[in-house]
Chain A
Amino acid sequence: MTDQQWDTLSIQAVSAAGVVYFLALLAYSAQWAARRGAVEGEGSARAEVFARFAFLLTVVAGGVHLLALVARGFAADPNRVPWGNMYEFTLTATFVVTLVTVLFFRRWNLAFLGPWAVGLVMVVLMLDVVWLYEPIAPLTEALSSPWLVIHVIAAITATGVFTLGGLVSILYLLRESGRLSSLPAADVLDRISYRLHAFAFPIWTFAVLIAGPIWAHQAWSRYWGWDPKEVWAFITWVVYAAYLHARATAGWKGRAAAIVALVGLGTLWFNFIGINFFFGGGLHSYAKP
């Protein structure tokens, strides 16, 4: 296949993934309607079928999403990891959200999270295509380093999982204030949110405090230089550290801790989007020549 064909395939796969995510969302709505419509018995059995179908569609969408990523990598000349600009970063982070939802679906009883995660992924994917799309371009010399792969994949994975954790924190806050009674109990949501954050925090630590500095040392001659991106990565780290502490502190547990987690998510996404748009991204201006 030529690079052009790979590129076309990637774009088509992104659209297809968006459509399948939408179908999954429809199936989830059908499940919700079925559960509401029927009191007992037949209705709940039908809801169960819809739920399974929705999960299956989510898995399919995730597969097509992955194909879009791989094709994007092959479309570049020379072939590379598809993490060179904000479009590719978001494409991957949303895939991580789907992946984590699917992988931990049974183990952590994430069935309730399905429609929310799928909805989030679909919306973000749409915004990504509309606002952040960039034609495929090779990486600049300083970006072609094995540490790029390590640093960026860790940052993306952490971003995806933090995002999912933030989503559960929002659900927790809603549930805790008495809404969305069909969701699991508030303390269950709180615990799932904590697990997601506890999963992402060490990965984030590795990305910004170990792999990032090693790469920065090789490429820019200093391991930490308070570049705007580094400042905000540090801020994000500090806020999430505060979240982990808050969760174990009387008076902060629960509501306050969840809000801290959401502040952390805000700083994370501000660092990713805001810094690039408002501050030019400093040295982290990605593939721009």
Chain B
Amino acid sequence: MSSVREKPQGPAQGNERLPGELTLRELLRWTWRQLTSMRTALVLLFLLALAAIPGSVIPQTSVDDFAVKQWKADHTRLGPIYAKLGMFEVFSSPWFSAIYLLLAVSLVGCILPRTRVYWRALRAAPPTAPRNLTRLPDSAAFATEEAPEVVLDRARALLRKKRYRVVAGGDAVAAERGYLREAGNLLFHIAVLVVLAGFAIGSLWGYKGGVIIAEGSQFSNTPTQYDDFTPGKLTKASELDPFRLQLDRFDIQWLFDGPRKGMARKFVAGLTWWDSDGTKRTDDLKVNHPLSIGGTDVFLIGHGYAPVLTVRDAEGNVAYSGPTPFLPQEQRNFTSFGVVKVPDAKPKQIGLQGLFLPTYNGDPLNSAMGKDLNPLITMQAYVGDLGINGGVPQSIYSLDTSKMKLLAKPGGKMFRVDLKPGQSVDLPGGNGSVTFEGVKPWVRLEIAKKPGTWLALSGAIMALLGLCGSLYVRPRRLWVRAVRSADGETLVEVAGLDRSARSDLTDDLTAFVAALQGAATTDITTNGSAGAAGAAGVQEDQ
């Protein structure tokens, strides 16, 4: 194939060209036309809707990482295939991105030429009156004693008052209004791109992370301090706003009666925080009311209990002491599960796992309610190798007991660390002791920075305004002609054209004619069926 060709000469003369063969330029132009056609845009819209469906059916890493792992474990054959197809990250997958990027290109291809056309239309005068106004689907005619000039003057004034753009020429007045419709249309489509840009900025340069902080503890905003941390593709860990915060207290109001008995309300976390300059402030953090530190938002999204435990090892030294967050298993009663790892215990490492019951009421597996009225820990104790030193990262909420031995009472009877606050128990075999000092609340904070959020929001608002313009503004053209007839009367013809998909033209036209007539009138004839069917023949434009 040669790359240089002569100008296309039509299919008949192109003796060297096969039918349907195109030059590169033609091919590009053809591709561009196809891509920016409304049909393609429609198909892309449907594809976008279809492509989003797997994102709601298959668990998504960005929504629920744990569910994805669970799903992969349950579907060992499909799991790897889906992973390769990007089914667990649908909304950042190449195929989903391809669809919306093509749509964006199609959008640009639609906006640019239309802006040019609109710019010209804006500066052009309303088109002059057609020769025979009564032939238009919506028209009216009447005769009057007044002079044509008087009628036309009045028509001009009336139309100006209704904010038509008016041009008078000879025996007729031409008027047009509703230019904002196309402006709204363009604004909407540009706004969609703005929203996309805002969203993209947020997911590329933003980050979010979660952390559990017990009452009295502190947190510094660096990735290592997070329990989970999801940066955007271009986020630099070193660029996190360097603030620090401390949970001073956590207040909660438990309901003892009423339909929500046992549930809680009014969660308030009292925070002290230091911004990047070290300026200290205190604030109350509540559900639905995030705290903004610089451009970073801090949200209160969960709470629970952290029993304060002290573990002494076989040598009698304090090997562990402090609050340990337990994770609520039931939001209803806050029965919580937790793990205590004591790597510093000598000679053998100690591990504890089991439940915390805020209100122990005889049932060792379930708390009676969420408030800590009668706290109890009930745990199993292990000694041996925690497996931490192997370098493989471990969850702090699970205990690897493969190299550990479950402690039992002498004689093999079951041993449990069942303690109320202030109580202590010796571990069997002289392995040390555990003391339950007390209970502290913890809160789970979600910390997120999403640059571009305001851009996305303004884009969405722009889109809405544009949409209202493009759907509700009614572009109209109206013409009035007044001619003196042979018998000395003035014959007035009025016609209108509705250029939208709506049609309340007939009523408006009748009202306009009535206003135009003023006092002196003889017979009127109107054209155009009444009601909704009025503008059946009116062309629709987009």
Chain A residues at the B interface, C-beta cutoff of 8 Å:
77, 108-109, 136-138, 140-142, 144-145, 184-185, 187-188, 191-192, 194-195, 198, 201-202, 205-206, 209-210, 213-214, 217-228, 231-232, 234-235, 238-239, 241-242, 244-249, 251-253, 267, 275, 279, 282, 289
Contacts and interface: CB of A to CB of B under 8 A. Distances in A.
B191 to A, nearest CB: 10
A151 B91 CA distance: 24
Nearest to A76: B259
A218 B448 CA distance: 11
B63 A191 contact: no
A107 to B, nearest CB: 9
Given A228-B56, A235-B52, A248-B540, A220 B258 contact: no
A213 B274 CA distance: 29
A242 B463 contact: no
Contacts of B407: none
Contacts of B267: 141
Given A202-B471, A206-B464, A225 B63 contact: yes
Given A223-B450, A224-B199, A279-B56, A238 B463 contact: no
Given A220-B301, A242-B46, A249-B38, A235 B53 contact: yes
Q: Which 9 A-B pairs have the closest CB atoms?
A: A248-B542, A221-B299, A221-B446, A231-B56, A228-B56, A242-B45, A238-B49, A198-B471, A249-B38
A210 B208 contact: no
Contacts of B463: 205, 209
Contacts of A187: 533, 536
Contact of A245 (B42, B263, B288, B446): B42
Contact of A137 (B195, B260, B502, B503): B260
Looking at chain A's contact residues, is the secondary structure mostly helix, strand, loop, or mixed? helix
**What interface size band does chain B fall in?**
35 or more
Given A223-B450, A234-B52, A210 B45 contact: no
A120 B260 CA distance: 35
A16 to B, nearest CB: 25
16 contacts: A109-B532, A141-B265, A142-B288, A185-B536, A191-B503, A198-B501, A205-B464, A219-B287, A221-B290, A226-B63, A232-B56, A235-B53, A239-B45, A246-B42, A247-B501, A248-B501
A266 to B, nearest CB: 11
Interface of B: 38-39, 41-42, 45-46, 48-49, 52-53, 55-57, 60, 62-63, 90-91, 195, 199, 208, 258-260, 263-267, 287-290, 297, 299, 301, 331-332, 446, 448, 450, 453, 456-457, 460-461, 463-464, 467-468, 471-472, 501-503, 531-533, 536, 540-542
B464 A138 contact: no
B467 A201 contact: yes
Contact of A282 (B63, B264, B532): B63
Given A138-B260, A235-B49, 15 more contacts: A77-B259, A188-B532, A191-B501, A198-B472, A205-B460, A205-B463, A220-B301, A221-B299, A221-B448, A222-B450, A238-B52, A239-B46, A245-B38, A247-B501, A248-B542
Contacts of B56: 228, 231-232, 275, 279
B161 to A, nearest CB: 24
A252 B63 contact: no
A208 B263 CA distance: 30
A14 B195 CA distance: 42
Nearest to A237: B49
Nearest to B198: A223
B532 A221 contact: no
Given A137-B259, A184-B533, A275-B56, A218 B41 contact: no
B198 to A, nearest CB: 10
Contacts of A138: 258-260
Contact of B208 (A218, A221, A228): A221
A289 B471 contact: no
B334 to A, nearest CB: 12
Nearest to A214: B457
Given A141-B265, A188-B532, A205-B464, A219 B471 contact: no
Nearest to A189: B532
Nearest to B468: A202
Contacts of B460: 205, 209-210, 213
A220 B448 CA distance: 11
Contacts of B55: 226, 231
Contacts of B502: 191, 195
B37 to A, nearest CB: 9
Contacts of A201: 467, 471
A109 B503 CA distance: 13
Contact of B49 (A221, A239, A249): A239
Contact of A289 (B46, B57, B263): B263
A184 B38 contact: no
B208 A194 contact: no
A205 B260 CA distance: 34
B52 A202 contact: no
A241 B45 contact: yes
A186 to B, nearest CB: 10
A40 B60 CA distance: 65
Contacts of B332: 289
Contacts of A246: 42
B461 A210 contact: yes
A77 B533 CA distance: 51
B288 A223 contact: no
Contacts of A279: 56-57
B331 A289 contact: yes
A143 B49 CA distance: 28
B45 A248 contact: no
A191 B297 contact: no
Contacts of B453: 217, 223
Contacts of B461: 210
Contacts of B331: 289
A242 B49 contact: yes
A257 to B, nearest CB: 10
B540 A226 contact: no
Nearest to B57: A279
Contacts of B446: 220-221
A171 B17 CA distance: 52
A195 B542 CA distance: 14
A184 B532 contact: yes
A200 to B, nearest CB: 10
A233 B300 CA distance: 26
A275 B463 CA distance: 27
A97 B287 CA distance: 34
A111 to B, nearest CB: 11
B448 A205 contact: no
B538 to A, nearest CB: 10
Contacts of B60: 226
B503 A210 contact: no
Nearest to B465: A202
A22 to B, nearest CB: 29
A221 B230 CA distance: 13
